[in-house]
Chains A and B, each alone.
Chain A
Amino acid sequence: MDLTTLTYIVVGLTFALYMGIAVWARAGTTGEFYAAGGGVHPVANGMATGADWMSAASFIGMAGLIAFQGYDASIFLMGWTGGYVLLALCLAPYLRKFGKFTVPDFIGDRFYSRTARIVAVVCLIVASLTYVIGQMKGIGVAFSRFLDVDYATGLYAGMGIVFFYAVLGGMKGVTYTQIAQYCVLIFAYTVPAVFISLNLTGNPLPQLGFLSDTADGTPLLIKLDQTLVDLGFAEYTAQKGGTFNILMYTLSLMFGTAGLPHVIIRFFTVPKVSDARTSAGWALVFIAILYTTAPAVGSMARLNLTNTIQNPAYDVGDPQANLVYEDRPNWFKNWETTGLLKFEDKNGDGRIQYYDDKNPDFAAKAESYGWKGNEMVKVDRDILVLANPEIANLPNWVIALVAAGGLAAALSTAAGLLLAISSAISHDLLKSTFMPHISDKQELMAARISMAGAIAVAGYLGLNPPGFAAQVVALAFGLAASSIFPALMMGIFSTRINNTGAVAGMLAGLLSTLVYIFTYKGWFFVAGTNMLANTPDNWFLGISPEAFGALGALINFVVAFAVTKVTAPVPQHIIDIVESIRIPKGAGSAQDH
C-alpha cells in the first residue's frame, strides 16, 4: 500500500475516534462546558493536560531545535517542564479550591476589581491567540505534506473537526478528545524514537540510547560532537549562548508555563484540591515521556542526517564521502518539493557538501578540500521529526503514524487555547462584566458562539499568518510570565496586595515586557521599526527579548508592593477568601457565582 493511502487510513481512523468522543461527551450545562462538570480523574486530567500543553511546536519543532542548538536548547527542556513544579506547588491546588471557571475570575475576585479582570482577559486573549496561530499552521503543514492536499483545505479540515467537538462538548468534549490525542501523539513520537535508538545504539530506550555507545564503541554524543566538528559545526554538547541569558530565558519559560491560562483551567476539572496536586504530577509524567525522548530524537536525527550526506566510511575531504546528488534518497526529494530542504551545487561536482561555511576556523580546510560553500542551503529544522522515520528507513506505517501524531498535537493544543479564549469572552466579559443577568442556558449558548467565533478568527489567522508568527510565541510566554503569573502568586501568597497594587503591577510587568520585545523586534513586529539591533551586545545585561519575561515579573512584583504600600488596605472579606483557598477542605466542584 502506498504511503498516502496508508496515511489517509491512519489519520482517518484517529479523526473518526475524535468525532465519536465528541458525540458521546456533549455538554449540557456551563459547568460541563467550562470545567467538564468537575469530575475528571486526576490521571485522566494529567493526560489531557499533556496533550493540551504539547503543541505542534513540542511535537514537530522541539527536537529540531535541540538537534541544531544542542546544549543551549536545554532552556526549553527545563523551562517547559520546570513550570509544572511552580504550577503544582504554588498555583493549581489554590486555584482549584477557589473553584471558579476561569483565570480572570480569580484575578477579578481576589483583587475586587473589574479593571484587574479586564486586564487579565486581554492578556489571556493576546497570549492564547498568538499561540493558536502556530497550531493552525502546524495543521496546514501536516496535511499538505502527508495527505497531498493544499494548505488551506488541510486547515479547513482541522477547523471542522475542532468545531465539532469543542462547540458541542466544551471542556468536556475537549478533555476526552485530548486524552485520545495524547495516546496518539505519544505513540507516534516514541515508536520511531525506539527504532532509531535500537538502530544506532542497540538500546531500545531512547533516554538510555542517548547515553550509550554506538556500534564502533564510541558513545553516541561523542560521535555526534566529532562528526559535527569535522565539518566545522559547533559541538552538540557545547554551550553557545551567554550563561545569564540562558538562566533568565529558562526562568521566563517556567513563569510563562505556570501562567498560561489554557493549562491552568485544566486543573479546575478535577474533583478535589488534593487531586489538583497529584494531577499536576501526572501531567508532568506524561509530558516528561516526550521531553526526555526529545534530546535523543534530536541528537540521533542530526547524526543520521549528517551521515547520510557525509558518508562516515570515508575521511572528510575525500570526494567519495560526499553523497552524489543524483543518488539522493527519496525523502530528500520529497522534502525538496516542499521547499524546506534546498541544495545548490556550488562547486559543480554533482556531490553534496554539508558543512559550516560561516566558521572562519574551518574555511582553510574547506578550501583545501575544494569546497565552495555549504551546499545544503536550506535545512528547515521543523522537518527533522517529520522526516526522521524516512531518514532512518523505517516502514511506511511509522511515517503515517507520525503524521497522525503531529495532527493530534496541534489539534489538542488548539482546542485547549480556543476554550480558554471562548470562556474568557462568554464568562468574564459577558456574564461577569457586561451582561450579569443572562441565564445559564443563555451563557452556554454565548460560550458556544464565542467558541465558533474564536475558531473562525484562528482559522483566518492560520490562512493569512502575520509575517511575525514565529516571533509571537515569545510574546505569549512574556505576557503570561510578566502579568498573569505574578498576579496569581500575589493573590495566593499575600493577603496585603490590594486592587490598585495588582492592576499597577500587571500593567507595569506587561508594558515593560512589551516595550523590551518591541525595542529589539520592531514595534508590533513591523520590520525596520526596532530601535536597537537584536544582537547580544545591545541587549540589557545580555538578556534576549525572549528571556525578558522573568524580569517583567520582577517589575510586576516590585510595583505591586510599592503601590499597595501607599493605597487603602485589603477589605476583610477578601482576606477571608485568601485564607479559605489555603485549606483544601470544603472544595465543591468549580462553579458559577
Chain B
Amino acid sequence: MAFKSEDDKKAYWQKNIRLMMWLLVLWAVVSYGFGILLRSVLDIIPIGGVGLGFWFAQQGSIYVFLFIVFFYAAKMRKLDREYGVDDD
C-alpha cells in the first residue's frame, strides 16, 4: 500500500470525497439552480438585454463547469503529492 498508515488512506479518500461533493454542489447550483429553478429571480439582474438566469442557462454554467474540472485536477494533484500517492 502506498500510504504510510490506514489513517492516511482514510483521510486521503475523505478529503477527495469532500472536495468532489463541494464541487458537485457548485455544479448543481449554477445549472439546476441559477439556470432553471432560480432563473426568474436572477433575471432581475440584466445582462446584455436579457437576465442573468437566462445567461447562466445558455452560457454561464458552461464556464463554471470548466472552472470546476480544472480546479479539481489542480487540487487533487496537490493532495496526491501530500499523501505520496501521485503518479509523477
Contacts and interface: CB of A to CB of B under 8 A. Distances in A.
Given A89-B23, A284-B69, A584-B85, A71 B62 contact: no
Contact of A584 (B3, B36, B51, B87): B87
Interface in A554-591: 579, 582-587
Interface string A212-256: 110000111110000000000000010100010011001100000
A274 B73 contact: yes
B76 to A, nearest CB: 6
Interface string A383-395: 0000000000000
Nearest to B27: A85
Contacts of A295: 58-59
Contacts, number: 138
Interface residues of B, number: 44
Residue from the set A88, A219, A583 with the largest chain B CB neighbour count within 10 Å: A583
Contact of B80 (A74, A246, A284, A584): A584
B57 A71 contact: yes
Interface string B64-78: 011011101100110
Contact of A210 (B12, B37, B48): B48
Contacts of A161: none
A280 interface: yes
B69 A246 contact: no
Contact of A274 (B35, B48, B62, B80): B80
B27 A274 contact: no
A320 interface: no
Interface stretch (A76-84, A107-115, A454-462, A477-485): A76-84
Given A219-B48, A274-B88, A210 B65 contact: no
Interface residues of A, number: 50
A284 B61 CA distance: 12
Nearest to B57: A74
Interface stretch (A15-23, A185-193, A285-293, A353-361): A285-293
A250 B62 contact: no
Contact of B86 (A82, A280, A585): A585
A90 interface: yes
Contacts of B39: 239
Given A243-B36, A274-B86, A584-B87, A77 B69 contact: no
B34 to A, nearest CB: 10
A281 interface: yes
13 contacts: A66-B58, A77-B61, A82-B31, A84-B69, A89-B24, A89-B68, A237-B54, A250-B32, A277-B76, A281-B70, A583-B85, A584-B85, A587-B87
Given A210-B59, A219-B49, A274-B88, 4 more contacts: A211-B49, A213-B49, A247-B36, A584-B86
